[in-house]
Amino acid sequence: MEKKVLMSFDIDGTLEVGDPPGPITLDMVRKAQAAGIICGSSSDRSMTAQQNLWDRAGITPAFTSLKHMLADIKEQFEADYYYHTGDRDLDKQFALEAGFSYMWYWEAEHEPWLNLANGEEPDPEWGTAPAPAY
């Protein structure tokens, strides 16, 4: 049974266009959108900067948000799974406070959201590893 999935992406350290670049490519985001996954960004970057990034990539996100406002995103969209993926403990903190599940960037690089959308259950280990040392 298909499931509705919302994926919120941090930018810096997570997306390939971040500073530093992360492992999640813009093509992965496009593929997720094509699979019916609700995709957008939640970042420390301003809303304008986030939208400009998506515009340059030719991607129309379902949302852009400051990461501490993830709870507002959850109120706006109906989904079976709400995930935020990022590279810092602060990303995880804001995700969990908003009622999202969390996935580290290295867990997300294999596009597990596609499996979720196809009805597979989430891996209970996602997001449980310690934050990377920078």
Strand partners, 9: 41, 85
Range in 49-58, 63-72, 116-125 the model is least confident about: 116-125
Q: Is the pLDDT of residue 132 over 80?
A: no
Q: Is the pLDDT of residue 133 over 90?
A: no
Residues 97-126, mean pLDDT to the nearest whole number: 91
User: For residues 13 and 27, what is the distance between their CA atoms, to the nearest angstrom?
Assistant: 17
pTM higher than the cut 0.85: yes
pLDDT digits (tens, 9 = 90+) for 5-42: 999 999 999 999 999 999 999 999 999 999 999 999 99
Specify the CATH class of 5-117 in words.
Answer: alpha beta
Cβ contacts of 126 within 8 Å, gap of 6 or more: 101, 102, 103, 104, 107, 112
User: What confidence score (pLDDT) does residue 2 get?
Assistant: 85
Give percent above pLDDT 70 in the chain.
99
Q: What residue ranges do the domains of the chain occupy?
A: 5-117
Q: Is the pLDDT of residue 78 over 70?
A: yes
Q: What count of residues does the chain have?
A: 134
